Amino acid sequence: MKSTWLVLLPFLNMACGPISDDRPSPQWASDPRPFWGLHIGPADTLDLDYSEALDSGFVVPGRGQADGGAFTMRFQLRDPDHPGRRFRYKLYYRNESYKFPEQGADGAQHPNAWENFYGSWEDAHEGFRSSPPVSGPQGMEMAVRWRITGDPRAEARYRKNGMRARWARNPRVGEYSVLLVVIPDDRFDAVGLPSGVIDIGDTTSGFIEPYWYFLHGPGAHAPDVQVLLAERRLVVRARPDLGAGIAITDTTVRDTSAFCANCGNAPRSLQSAPFEQFIHYIDPSTAFRNVPIIADVLGNGYTPEDHDRYRCNMPERWLVDTRPMTTDRPCSTVRSDPEKHVIQLWNPAADPTGPRKENVGVRSRHGFTYGSYRVQCHLSRLLNDEDMWVGLTNAIWLIYQGAPGNLRRDCPGGYMANYYGGDDDARISRTAYAEMDFEILCTPPYCPDRAFPPILPEQVRGSQERLSWWRGEPPGRVPGMVTVACTNWDMACAAPEDFGWGCRPIEKDGHRFLAHRWDRNYRALTEKQEEPDSTLFNGPYWFQIDWRPEEVLWSVGPDLQHMHAVGYMNSSVTSISNVQMLLIVSQEFHNTRWWPGSRFDQGFIPFPAKDYLGEIEQVIIQ
């Protein structure tokens, strides 16, 4: 294996910034140098290793990604005034990109800082380690090996057997810092560190965020404690290989014996396949009656005038009872291409002997908490040249993983207990459910009131007069535009200070977004913006959900350097999820009752005569 020592050597001499103005200045330790030893080049950036992460969670670095499979922290110990003195030391790491401030306005630990992703030794309960006796004017160099692992505080366990589930609290993507704390062995007990700092998994007094304790709290002022914060940082990102296969699994278990197919890719074990086929839950309320027609809508075989004519004049008894369906043959509508490293998906053409509208999608098998989810895809066009909608909703969305121990933080007043519940649903203090969506379809882009008039003149059924059934275009309608709906499912938690319903503006960087909630008990907040269908879906295009602890930003663009915002929400208006979520990319047939005021009715859009093709080309989470 080729060494990178010469490449990384210029970066080894790292200085430490000042920790506290009033801190005494012991100089027992100096020059902390986190040495990544990466085999990927000079940049301090590492892509997560998916090869063994399914059951045990991600480990940073993965096997073969760094010298000896671990990072090394080197630091110097010296104390000429006390020859033979021993020291206690502990290394902490923390994700800096997706964190709450460690300190609140009152100087105490921030109320949500305990949620930050931080760790230390792989055994969460191991305390400070001891050095050998330190003698001589030069002292000694210490080398500490360490890794970033999932569930660093040992809090995620399976309910049935109590075994640890590291995958349930995967390392976060983004930037990591390293903090070193050194205390003379003979002064360690006198310092009186709380148990939650020595053992980061200890919850006797709640989780104590070590960066707060040693940078701002009591540890920042103790005369026998030296704290060193290394300037050099590591950046972690996820770039799953879309050509590594698609798993078909029994979603009720995580046992690898449940894998039964790989959808087009045989060279590798399905253990490393980053996606699985997504099987939609079909709720009975999604049922509708459909025109008994199969047509190539996208190929201009159906027009808005056809839709209106059939809607008014086709006898009810001719309509076909249907609802959106999912595949009954694994791998028949998804494929992982090992040569192009893409995932292909398609809604299949209808069979005349049993026509159906079939949803299709893939779901990631590994969850993350927070991150900038960037998806480059070429999904199906939604409008034909006649400005007729094909009935599809293209969606890029995040959904809760249901991992052990993953519940949203407490909501005073409670969350609505069930996704499909009504206004009389119970409220609960915590819930596992979370979802954030891009949904792109043909629906009004504005914020409606609870009861709003039809956007077009009412049609007269059964009339042969064209003016009785042809509605024309909605006022202000721009041909070729589709609506990008950005939604956060907060389960109606009313705790945010500006929580409300109806149509309410949110400002971000001079841009005004209009957020809509139907009423106090409605479980989601949505913003809409129109974009050209030919721009979004005529070729590869980027969709980004930037999910942070206190805000979410939705953006689209032709490349990562030219993105523009289409939605924004923050914790003042909606409860932002803090549970681990999975990524889904799908093409779906929605019942348009979900989208009041829609220009077209799903039931009067024909069954597809040809496949609706989509392709996912890149996924980057950072």
Rounded to an integer, the average pLDDT of 390-408 is 97
Burial class (CB in 10 A: 0-12, 13-18, 19+), 285: exposed
Query: Does residue 470 have a pLDDT over 90?
Result: no
Q: What is the DSSP string of 347-379?
A: EPPPPTTS---B-EEEEESS-BSSEEEEEEEEP
- Statement to judge: residues 448 and 556 lie in one domain: yes
Helix (H) or strand (E) holding 312: helix 304-313
Residue 538 sits in a domain whose CATH number is 2.60.120.200
- Statement to judge: residues 305 and 286 lie in one domain: yes
Q: What is the pLDDT of residue 13?
A: 28
- Statement to judge: residues 424 and 508 lie in one domain: yes
Q: What is the pTM of this model?
A: 0.91
Q: What is the pLDDT of residue 255?
A: 41
Q: Which of 67, 614, 609, 618 is nearest to 296 (CA)?
A: 609
User: Which residues have C-beta within 8 Å of that of residue 603, sequence separation ≥ 6?
Assistant: 288, 289, 290, 291, 319, 592
Is residue 335 within 8 Å of residue 246, measured between CB atoms?
Answer: yes
- Statement to judge: residues 208 and 278 lie in one domain: no
Alpha carbons 238 and 147: distance in angstroms, whole number? 17
For 570-590, what is each residue's pLDDT tens digit? 999 999 999 999 999 999 999
- The answer to whether position 461 is within a domain reads no
Rounded to an integer, the average pLDDT of 397-424 is 95
Strand-by-strand arrangement of the 612-621 sheet:
334-337, 342-347, 612-621, 371-378, 541-548, 551-557, 564-570
252: phi then psi, degrees, rounded to nearest 5: -85, -10
- Split at pLDDT 50, 70, 90, the class of 180 is very high
Is residue 554 within 8 Å of residue 567, measured between CB atoms?
Answer: yes
- Split at pLDDT 50, 70, 90, the class of 281 is confident
Rounded to an integer, the average pLDDT of 534-557 is 98
- Statement to judge: residues 171 and 25 lie in one domain: yes
Domain span at residue 86 reads: 5-237
User: Which residues have C-beta within 8 Å of that of residue 190, sequence separation ≥ 6?
Assistant: 224
**Residue carrying structure tokens 């200045």:** 25
Query: Does residue 555 have a pLDDT over 90?
Result: yes
Domain boundary among 219, 237, 255: 237
- The answer to whether position 117 is within a domain reads yes
Q: Report CA-CA distances (Å) from 576 to 118, 200, 440, 585, 609.
A: 20, 25, 22, 21, 41
Q: Which of 33, 34, 44 is nearest to 7 (CA)?
A: 44
Domain boundary among 220, 237, 254: 237
- The answer to whether position 460 is within a domain reads no
Is residue 195 within 8 Å of residue 204, measured between CB atoms?
Answer: yes
- Split at pLDDT 50, 70, 90, the class of 328 is confident
Strand, helix or coil at 140? strand
Cβ neighbours, 10 Å, residue 217: 21
Helices (H), 115-191: 188-191
Query: Does residue 1 have a pLDDT over 60?
Result: no
- Split at pLDDT 50, 70, 90, the class of 350 is very high
Query: Does residue 396 have a pLDDT over 90?
Result: yes
- Statement to judge: residues 84 and 221 lie in one domain: yes
- Statement to judge: residues 149 and 294 lie in one domain: no
Alpha carbons 347 and 392: distance in angstroms, whole number? 9
Cβ neighbours, 10 Å, residue 82: 13
- The answer to whether position 458 is within a domain reads no
Task: State both tokens at 322.
Answer: 């249907």
- Statement to judge: residues 530 and 560 lie in one domain: yes
CA angle (466 as vertex; 461, 472 as ends), nearest 5: 95
58: phi then psi, degrees, rounded to nearest 5: -75, 145
- Split at pLDDT 50, 70, 90, the class of 258 is very low
- Split at pLDDT 50, 70, 90, the class of 462 is low
For 18-43, what is each residue's pLDDT tens digit? 344 454 445 666 666 555 554 443 45
- Statement to judge: residues 383 and 408 lie in one domain: yes
Q: Computed from CA positions of residues 512, 570, 438, 548, in that sequence, does the dihedral angle turn out positive or negative?
A: positive
Q: Report CA-CA distances (Å) from 617 to 187, 237, 555.
A: 57, 17, 17
Please tell me which residue, 452 or 223, carries the higher pLDDT value: 223
In 3-state terms the chain splits into helix, strand, coil percentages (rounded to 5) of: 15, 35, 55
- The answer to whether position 433 is within a domain reads yes
CA-based end-to-end distance of the chain: 28
Strands 541-548 and 551-557, by their bridges, are antiparallel
Percent of the chain exceeding pLDDT 70 equals 86
- Statement to judge: residues 119 and 176 lie in one domain: yes
Please tell me which residue, 5 or 18, carries the higher pLDDT value: 18
Q: What is the pLDDT of residue 30?
A: 67
Alpha carbons 559 and 261: distance in angstroms, whole number? 33
- The answer to whether position 493 is within a domain reads yes
Cβ neighbours, 10 Å, residue 323: 18
Alpha carbons 425 and 442: distance in angstroms, whole number? 31
- The answer to whether position 463 is within a domain reads no
- Statement to judge: residues 12 and 49 lie in one domain: yes
Rounded to an integer, the average pLDDT of 473-496 is 92
Query: Does residue 600 have a pLDDT over 60?
Result: yes
Residue 196 sits in a domain whose CATH number is 2.60.40
Mean pLDDT is lowest, of 268-277, 343-352, 480-489, for: 268-277
Rounded to an integer, the average pLDDT of 377-405 is 97
- Statement to judge: residues 265 and 196 lie in one domain: no
Domain boundary among 237, 267, 287: 237
Please state the domain count of the chain: 2
For 110-159, what is each residue's pLDDT tens digit? 999 999 999 999 999 999 999 999 998 889 999 999 999 999 999 999 98
Rg of the chain, C-alpha, whole Å: 28
The DSSP secondary-structure symbol of 481 reads E
- The answer to whether position 322 is within a domain reads yes
Strand-by-strand arrangement of the 392-400 sheet:
246-247, 275-277, 360-364, 581-589, 392-400, 435-441, 481-489, 524-532, 511-517, 502-508
Output the 3-class SS for 547-584: EECCEEEEEEECCCCCCEEEEEEECCCCCCCCCCEEEE
